[in-house]
Amino acid sequence: MAVAEKVARHRAAGYDVVVVVSAMSGETDRLLKLATSVHAEPPARELDVLLATGEQTTIALLSIALAKLGVAARSYTGSQVYIRTDNVHGKARILEIDARRARDDLAHGRVVVVAGFQGADEEGNITTLGRGGSDTTAVAMAAALHADECQIYTDVDGVYTSDPRIVPKARRLDRITDEEMLELSSLGAKVLQLRSVEFAGKYKVPLRVLSSFEDGPGTLITYEENEMEAPLISGIAFNRDEAKLTVRGVPDRPGIAAQILGDIGQANINVDMIVQNVGADGTTDFTFTVHRGDYGKAGEILKTVAKALNAREIIGDDKIVKISIVGVGMRSHAGIAGKMFKALADENINIQMISTSEIKISVVIDEKYLELGVRALHDAFGLDEPPATRPRARKAERASR
């Protein structure tokens, strides 16, 4: 196995290595199907017992492959290496890790192979952390062992300034802050599970995103970066799966937003951006975006709400995209928003909605301008150049955008 060789190389280079593995590709889905073929709603406790076999198979096989390469290794299930979680089966949270056993193996020169995605609750019941939980396990083990670095092997070779399929000039970032990473992840740049990044941030575990398939430095996720030295913008994310809905002419009084979104939430529809303009003549317009797959359902619900509110009309558009620029530099540097809007205006791209957070500015535009817009912004902020040559946020004062 390629993984075994990678581990053996690290070991040969003198590092103590703890490997956290996932189930083999497709295995978790196979087990899920097996369970639901028996019972459409399998008890969560028993489903966890079943799913946990996926990683248990991998740890055994990896340890066997390491033995083949002459590398001493020991495999451990989540419960064996004392990954204690709460008892929420299927999406348990890690409460604590007793790393003594792993530390003892490392002291004896053995590689420790740990089953990701799983643990045990206080009573010893097997739990799983939910999809992507293997990343979280790795971060938690790294934190418990005060590891120098936690390397996450993925199908990409790092975090990019934007999607290379859209922006050919997109560049791999050498480093990115955890906050930027969180914003990029939540904006559709799926590299790491959000939970593992949050977890890494909490314990300040240096996290590196690498490719499973090729060698390379990857991208290092850092914490407490000196903002002054950070590039203005680290990356540009986008999301094609959005649709927007506007309720026009609703009464401009407290409680309206809650009333409109209450029924939407009840229907389990997640709302992303929300914008409410300043009203005129006692009414206002209320706009929000939802996943494109929920567009029809959300529209139906709105009809009822709009009637009750005596709203003027409902308009919607499911041919939109959201583009966001992300960077901790914008905390301390003015003019970022203006630069963004100008870059889009220069391409004659109309901005339909704007929403901002501490380190992110998002706009909604017509979907046909997606590629044009992302590339224009990538150029405007000089993301294809190495950070050293780019303008940096050097001003000490916090500036408004």
Which residues contact a second copy (rule: CB under 8 A)? 1, 31, 34-35, 38-39, 42-43, 45-47, 49-50, 52-53, 56-57, 59-61, 63-65, 67-68, 73-75, 77, 79-80, 124-126
Amino acid at 394: R
Strand bridging mode 207-211 / 150-154 = parallel
Q: Kindly state the smallest distance separating residue 353's Cβ from a second copy, in Å.
A: 46
**What is the three-class DSSP state of 290?**
strand
Give the DSSP letter of residue 369. G
**Neighbour count for residue 122 (Cβ, 10 Å):** 10
Q: Minimum distance from CB of 92 to a second copy (Å)?
A: 16
Which two structure tokens, joined as six digits, stand for 116?
């990701």
Residue 80 or 276: the one with the smaller Cβ distance to a second copy is: 80
CA–CA gap between residue 214 and residue 150 (Å, rounded): 18
* Cα gap 249→311, rounded to integer Å: 5
Minimum distance between the CB of residue 174 and a second copy, rounded to whole angstroms?
36
Residues 6 or more apart in contact with residue 288 via CB below 8 angstroms: 244, 245, 261, 264, 271, 272, 273, 274, 275
Given the complex with a second copy, which of 110 and 360 has the nearer CB atom? 110
Shortest distance, position 51 Cβ to a second copy, whole Å:
8
Q: Which lies closer to a second copy via its Cβ, residue 39 or residue 202?
A: 39
Cβ nearer to a second copy, comparing 46 with 163: 46
User: Is the Cβ of residue 41 or residue 224 nearer to a second copy in the bound state?
Assistant: 41
Which one, 53 or 211, has the nearer CB to a second copy? 53
> Which of 56, 185 has the CB closer to a second copy?
56
State the nearest-atom distance from the C-beta of 236 to a second copy, in Å.
43
Q: How far is the CB of 173 from a second copy (least distance, A)?
A: 36
The minimum distance between CB 93 and a second copy, in angstroms, equals 21
How many Å apart are CA 203 and CA 178, to the nearest integer?
A: 12
Cα separations in angstroms, 398 against 158, 230, 335 = 30, 14, 12
Q: How far apart are CA 100 and CA 110, in angstroms?
A: 14
- CA distance linking residue 190 with residue 179, whole number of Å: 15
Q: Which residues contact 13 (CB under 8 A, 6 or more apart)?
A: none
